Structure 1
Amino acid sequence: MAQFKVGDKVRHETYGDMEIMYGPFAGRAATPSNTVYVAERVMTGWEGAVSENTLTPIPETPTDPRREVVARTIATRICGNRVTRAEIEAEYPRADAILAALDAMETPADKPRPLAVGDKIRILEDGHNGAKVFVGDVLTVEYAHRDVFQTGAPRLYTRGVRWTFEAKDAGTGWERVTADTEVIDGVTYDLTARYRDSMGDVWARQDDGLWWVCEWASGNPATLGTNPDTDNESYRDYSLADVIEKFGPITRV
């Protein structure tokens, strides 16, 4: 059975790298020495008949899909519009060097996309832009157009009028919320924040998603242990909804 097919990349013991163009053509006894292919020499474009026993396969390696485009462009600039496969592949080393240099260049950070309906923001100042909002409020964008957007927050002194915020105030009056949030009884909570309960103890979410007291009202850190002043064994593994129900209301620290 023939070892190679048209299109295979092979290495000839004398001619170097080649590509199978035609074949196989087997003699009466289909042995490797009697099986012949017509192959093209990569570097020169020369075609000739070669025996199977003089060829070894070149393993296929993943290549950058941009490589072919760059190499063809270089070959076309040098040789004109009608270029051979050999002329294109001869430019592979140069194409590889160009792509490596481009990949090594520092890529600028992507500009954040504009706010869209459904995004969340956190208020950074009470009464920002004349709206009835307070520091720590997490609001959902309900309308956005170019550099202005609206949430459900009303104007400070006008009942029922939805007020407008501006993109230019990002970082001073509001910030985009990219962290996980949870809505409980219509209130949006930032799950990466810490919250103080009605007794002054501070709660924080742990890696398993459950909430623990991390700091007592006294300011002492809460730990798991035998010290009655710091032990929080009875204040661990609560859901946020349970924290609110049993120890609320809670406020963001």
Structure 2
Amino acid sequence: MTYTVGEKVKYAKMRDAAEILSGPHASQNGTDRYLIKKADGNVSLVKVTELTAVDSRLDLVAETLHRALYGCGLRSKTSYSGRKMYVIADAVLYALDKDAPIKKGPLKKGDRIRITETGHNGASVDRGDILIVQDPDFHGDGSVFTTNAPKATSYSAKVWYFTHHSEGNGWERV
């Protein structure tokens, strides 16, 4: 997993998120390391294997709903109750966000988007994934942008790109 400077991550089993300050840095044993700033202000150089992505709002709401309704954590996004919780969580977040001010203007490098359609534009992405914009004008004509979406080995493209005009229909700003 690769992280970018400024990205929030979970470190080991700490409750609060840490922030990536720099990295990845190579080490003698081949394991990449990142310099992070923990919630308490301490700075540490840690192995990439000790870091995980922070859950998206969609994941947090789905997990909370599942705990409230069934008394246990969400074990799978693909189980019947898991799929149902994600549908409800998506509706809740939409209702909460619909009155929020709409972010206008072009995307910039580092902006975050949420995928709203699994497999959008053929990419290996799932609904609810949060991606980071890497190149806001990939073709130089303002039509497409690239993200940190995982690349499928069975496809010849070197990067996955998304069209700006599909905002609200496959992806949305976070």
Do they fold alike, i.e. is TM over 0.5?
no
Question: Whose strand fraction is larger, Structure 1's or Structure 2's?
Answer: 1
TM-score (normalizing by structure 2): 0.36
TM-score (normalizing by structure 1): 0.25
Q: Which gives a bigger RCO, structure 1 or 2 (Cα 8 Å, sep 6+)? A: 2
Larger radius of gyration: 1
